[in-house]
Amino acid sequence: MDAIFLMNNVWIIVCTALVLLMQGGFILLEAGSTRMKNAGHIAGKTVFTVGIASLMFWAVGYGLIYGEGNAFIGLSNFFYGDATTMGEGLAGSVDFMFQLAFAAIALTIAFGGFAERAKLMAYVIFAILFSIVVYPVIAHWIWGGGWLGAHGKQDFAGSTVVHLTGAMAALAATMILKPRIGKYNKDGSSNDIAGHNQVFTALGVLILWVGWFGFNAGSTFGVEDAFFGYVALNTQLAAGAGAIGAMLMVWLLSGKADVPTTLNGALAGLVAITASCAFVEPWAAVLIGLIGGMFVYFSMKFFDKKRIDDPIFALSVHGTVGVWGTLSNGLFATPELATVGRPGLFYGGGFEQLGVQLLGVGASGLYAFVVSFVILKVMDVAMGGLRVSEEEEIMGLDISEHGGYGYPENLTPPKSTDKSGA
């Protein structure tokens, strides 16, 4: 068997493991960014919804994306289990596993908008529906031979497909769920609800950062010319620049070198470079990451002013910056590297690629938002509310949804305060 073929497969299965490890990053990031009383819930639901995402991707997701179909959806290869197919230099199963890990990331991002107030059952049902009617459709449009891919839309590793899609679902969720108790005052002004452990958040970001090498460098789908090294280089530069950009911005504007914002800046750099990591030069990667990091703080403030409570800043990190990352191709893609689509504006490509990118962002973002909103609205009515009761939210989801605390020694179950006996 061809050595390159084997190495391709080994590389991609390693990258699959790295992308799956990003879930560990999300567990720490989300748990650290929220309160102690919800920590066990946030960690546990991530593992368990990865389970749902995996089964759904196997049953229908992969087929809807990559099956034979039309410009809008694939319609074959359900219940994937083909051990013989070889395509694009990869064993089918290796390709399947890599794609599955991406689908699970999009779902976890979407759940950022649910944090600290959604019923456990809302996670279960939305995980199933998102895995059928939201993610696969957009992935098909751009990666599965759909209409946006045919237009030459550049999204190397998924700024749009994974990050923007997840963030749009998160936006729909946070709008329907409404802000957490205590986040906003009567006069509309906002309070900080601090996360309980910045060390967890930082470690979570670092795990995501490492996992991102699977996400971006793995999206080369092979080892030929060792191009993955170049992709990794751009990824590293953008992440570093993102952290710097965000800290600079929050320092200038708030007077404080805020740690959560800086951490989100590193993630913003990673999200921003995800679409363009294979198409741009390193100096552009620095700029793309830096601007992504700077945007993230403005975006956090913007959503806060609009009274959209986004506990772990998923909308800003994955949404706003996902848009920026996708558009940045239209500015910085070089003629030599643009293997899909056209060079960017700054390389004499005119506005054409920028237009294609804008169309891709607009169509995908709109679809993900509208469909998620409708699904969640219907669920809201059918389930008698997506949100837990006020009392449950106050006592925390660890105890209300799971019957035990993530930190049992630090928290004690609330005593019954109802003296009326009713």
Partner 1 sequence: MVSLKTYEDLGREREALISGKITDNEQMNDRHDEIIRETFDVARATIESEQGPPPAPFAFFLMGSAGRREQTTSSDQDHGIIFKGEDVQDYFLKLGKEVSEGLDTVGYPLCDGNVMASNSLWCRSVEAFHHQVAGWIEEESWQSLRNFSIIFDGRVLVGEPEFLENVKIEACHLIERNHLYGRLRDNVGYVKKGVGAFGQLLTDHPHSDHLEIKRTVYFPFVNAIRLLAMKEKETSAPTVQRMNGMEGAYPFLNSYRDDFESLLSLRVEKDVITPDRLSKEEKKEWKYLIRRGRKLFREVSRIMEEGNES
Q: Which residues bind partner 1 (CB under 8 A)?
A: 187, 189-192, 194, 250, 252-256, 258, 260-261, 297, 300, 304
Instruction: Report phi then psi at 245, rounded to 5.
Output: -60, -45
For residue 354, which amino acid is it?
L
Q: Give the nearer residue to partner 1 in terms of CB position, either 86 or 253.
A: 253
Structure-token pair, residue 159:
């700024």
Yes or no: say if 47 and 21 are a contact pair by the CB < 8 Å rule. Answer: no
Question: What ranges in 257-343 are assigned the alpha helix state H?
Answer: 259-274, 282-305, 314, 321-332
Q: Give the nearer residue to partner 1 in terms of CB position, either 77 or 320.
A: 320
Question: How many CB atoms within 10 Å of residue 283?
Answer: 10
Q: Give the nearer residue to partner 1 in terms of CB position, either 48 or 302.
A: 302
Considering the complex, what minimum distance in angstroms separates the CB of residue 310 from partner 1?
10
Yes or no: say if 89 and 7 are a contact pair by the CB < 8 Å rule. Answer: no
Q: Give the nearer residue to partner 1 in terms of CB position, either 189 or 389.
A: 189
59 CB-near residues (< 8 Å, 6+ apart): 78, 79
418 CB-near residues (< 8 Å, 6+ apart): none
Considering the complex, what minimum distance in angstroms separates the CB of residue 254 from partner 1?
4
Considering the complex, what minimum distance in angstroms separates the CB of residue 192 from partner 1?
4
200 CB-near residues (< 8 Å, 6+ apart): 28, 29, 31, 32
Considering the complex, what minimum distance in angstroms separates the CB of residue 240 from partner 1?
21
Considering the complex, what minimum distance in angstroms separates the CB of residue 313 from partner 1?
9
Q: Rounded to whole angstroms, what are the CA distances from 379 to 53, 119, 308, 373?
A: 19, 11, 20, 10
Residue 145 DSSP class: S
Q: Give the nearer residue to partner 1 in terms of CB position, either 294 or 340.
A: 294
Considering the complex, what minimum distance in angstroms separates the CB of residue 197 from partner 1?
16
Q: Rounded to whole angstroms, what are the CA distances from 173 to 48, 96, 120, 128, 190?
A: 19, 29, 14, 15, 20
Q: Rounded to an integer, what distance in angstroms lies between the CA atom of residue 249 and that of residue 270?
A: 17
Considering the complex, what minimum distance in angstroms separates the CB of residue 182 from partner 1?
11
Considering the complex, what minimum distance in angstroms separates the CB of residue 255 from partner 1?
4
Any idea which residue has 């741009």 for tokens? 280
Q: Give the nearer residue to partner 1 in terms of CB position, either 194 or 374.
A: 194
Considering the complex, what minimum distance in angstroms separates the CB of residue 253 from partner 1?
6
Q: Rounded to an integer, what distance in angstroms lies between the CA atom of residue 370 and that of residue 76?
A: 26
Q: Rounded to an integer, what distance in angstroms lies between the CA atom of residue 65 and that of residue 294?
A: 34
Strand partners, 118: 387
Q: Give the nearer residue to partner 1 in terms of CB position, either 2 or 187.
A: 187
Q: With H, G, I as helix, E, B as strand and everything else as coil, classify residue 148.
A: helix
Q: Give the nearer residue to partner 1 in terms of CB position, either 70 or 189.
A: 189
Q: Give the nearer residue to partner 1 in terms of CB position, either 85 or 191.
A: 191
Considering the complex, what minimum distance in angstroms separates the CB of residue 311 from partner 1?
11
Q: Give the nearer residue to partner 1 in terms of CB position, either 97 or 321.
A: 321
